[in-house]
Structure 1
Amino acid sequence: MWLPFLFLLIGLALGFLTNLSIPDYYSNYLSIAILAAFDTLLGGIRAHFEKKFNQHVFISGFFFNIVCAVILTFIGDQLGVDLYLAAVFAFGLRIFQNIAGIRRFLFDLRQEKIQKKMRK
């Protein structure tokens, strides 16, 4: 469970310490890819808490979500329509659902600890 956080810290450190800039043309693609990755990460954390985590589903979902979101953004660019907004809405909704599931799990865990203390 600590490994994703380690790589998150390494990624953040590399991002802040390097002088890498992304051209404006690719900003929609990168933002959608990051949103898709964040959705998959939170879904994996929620699945871990619910004891339903499957590494193959997580990895395939990670890449599939990113590829689908980028393809949707590309098609929208070709048509002159902001189709990436559909991905923003879908991933945003799922992110908040996953956060709510994680929050419920943490609250339930806290309640169980409180009840155990009261029983003693």
Structure 2
Amino acid sequence: MIALVGLILGIILGAVWNINIPDKFSPYISVAIFACLDSVFGALKASLAKQFRVDIFISGFFGNAVLAAALAYLGDKLGVPIYLAAVIVFGGRIFDNFATIRRVLIEKAKSHQ
């Protein structure tokens, strides 16, 4: 539940504040956002499975974002678009977590009918 509240709060703050990010930082921001979203969806999945732990969520949220941005920076310095691999991996994990969340919610809704 904490993850969902944080996600909603982040979306609201992002919509209210008009922050322009320079184009040269967009690969780093994109992978950091994907990493954070991966953590949020993982937290929602863990919450539905009654396995959510705040310490795991916080460490994954910030750790994944920093690691993903660092890898994107390293790839940028090497001339290799590593950030694309991170976006693909995190995107796949987000969709996998969403599919699991959707199935769990549908099963819960069916069992309450």
Q: Could you say whether these structures have the same fold, taking a TM-score greater than 0.5 normalized by the shorter chain as the test?
A: yes
Q: Would the alpha carbon gap of residues 90 and 79 (structure 1) be closer, same or farther in structure 2, given more than 3 Å must change?
A: same
Match of 2:39 in 1: 40
Question: Which deviations, in whole Å up to 9, do the C-alpha atoms of 1:4-51 show, x marking residues without a partner?
Answer: 444444433332333321000001111111110001000000000001
SS at match of 1:52: coil
Deviation at 1:67, TM superposition (A): 1.1
Identity among equivalent pairs (%): 45
Find the counterpart in structure 1 of residue 12 from structure 2: 13
Distance (Å, rounded) in 1 between the aligned partners of 2:61 and 2:3: 13
Aligned partners of 2:68 and 2:86 also within 8 Å: yes
Question: Matches of 2:16 and 2:47 in 1, distance apart?
Answer: 32
Structure 1 residue 107: Cα displacement: 1.1
Equivalent position of 1:87 in the other structure: 86
CA distance in 2, matches of 1:96, 1:45: 13
1:58 aligns with 2:57: yes
Q: Which residue of 2 aligns with 1:26?
A: 25
Larger Rg: 1
Which ranges of structure 1 fall in alignment gaps of 5 or more residues? 115-120
- Distance in 2 separating the partners of 1:19 and 1:104: 36
Equivalent-residue separation in structure 2 for 1:105 and 1:59 (angstroms): 23
TM norm structure 2: 0.90
Superposed displacement of residue 68, structure 1: 1.1
* TM-score relative to the length of structure 1: 0.86
Unaligned runs of at least 5 residues, structure 2? none
Which moves more between the two structures, 11-20 or 48-57?
Answer: 11-20
How many residue pairs are counted as aligned between the two chains? 113
List 4+ stretches of structure 1 deviating above 6 A: none
